[in-house]
Amino acid sequence: MAKRIDVKDLNLYYGKFHAVDSVSLAVPPHSVTAFIGPSGCGKSTVLRSLNRMHEVIPGARAEGKVLLDGEDVYASSVDPVSVRRTIGMVFQRPNPFPTMSIRDNVVAGLKLAGERDKRKLDRVAEEALRGANLWAEVKDRLNRPGGGLSGGQQQRLCIARAIAVRPDVLLMDEPCSALDPISTLAIEDLIGELKKDYTIVIVTHNMQQAARVSDQTAFFNLAGVGQPGRLVEVDDTERIFSNPGQKATEDYISGRFG
């Protein structure tokens, strides 16, 4: 079930490079939080640190705390693999496993978790595909490769794959940036439905999208060239887009910023 996330004094590094400086923010359950900001400001890095995907890059490391309902996912006793099973992720470009069928793609996570019961897998596959609004389009070709779908369908397949394991949190890293407007709309509608069951954090370059789908918005910015990225402010989306607390935020959302 949806859980809350509390980030406390999170510092992120790539080798010696200090990428993100001391981020603290809270994400309530059953909400959509959007991360916005210019390229290279560390918003994707912060997102990836929430399910410990940051550290799979050689040399990358994190300092600080990410609490999932009060439990630190960076505690020494926590296995990153189990963190990723409870915090799902959808990437910028759709990445279904090309050698697997549509059905096998959806249940890949469950199979990794050791589920072998074929009937249960079939049921979960249908549920997840329905949850991702893809069932009607693929129900007749579940055994065909996932790579044969359109880009928007592939992305929804990836969302189905992520929610099939019933995670507590769903992270989305610019999920619509490789999609056309119609597919984008389909995904945005889906995000609105998914927040009933999940806590969602989404990185987006599209400010209208942030305004449309999110309940709260976090604005990230660079302190300067070569400086670490930092969280400028986080607030209700309505406030950020109408009456932000910081001048930098206002400049960015009104387009007065590079």
Q: Which of 138, 162, 169, 222 binds another protein (CB under 8 A)?
A: 162
Across the chain, where does the E strand assignment appear?
5-14, 17-27, 32-36, 60-68, 71-72, 87-90, 169-173, 199-203, 216-222, 229-236
Q: Which is nearer to another protein, 120 or 256 (CB)?
A: 120
- By CB under 8 A, tell whether 98 contacts another protein: yes
User: Do 174 and 95 touch, CB atoms closer than 8 A?
Assistant: no
Indicate the residue type of 64: G
134 close to 143: Cβ distance less than 8 angstroms: no
- Collect all residues with Cβ–Cβ distance below 8 Å to 98 and sequence separation of at least 6: 145, 146, 147
Q: Which of 95, 177, 206, 246 binds another protein (CB under 8 A)?
A: 95
Decide: is 74 part of the binding site for another protein (CB under 8 A): no
Measured from the CB atom, the residue of 3 and 85 that comes closer to another protein is 85
Maximum pairwise Cα distance, the chain = 56
Q: Which stretch binds another protein (CB under 8 A): 35-43, 108-116, 216-224, 229-237?
A: 108-116
CB of 236 to another protein, least distance (A): 29
Of 3, 85, 156, 195, the one binding another protein by CB under 8 A: 85
Q: Any contact of residue 88 with another protein (CB under 8 A)?
A: yes
- Cα distance between residue 222 and residue 165, in whole Å: 35
Separation CA 65–CA 72 (nearest Å): 6
68 binds another protein (CB under 8 A): no
78 binds another protein (CB under 8 A): no
Q: Which residue has the tokens 């329905």?
A: 130
Does 51 help bind another protein (rule: CB under 8 A)? yes
Binding site for another protein (CB under 8 A): 51, 53, 56, 58, 81-82, 84-85, 88-89, 91, 93, 95-100, 108-109, 112-113, 147, 158, 161-162, 165
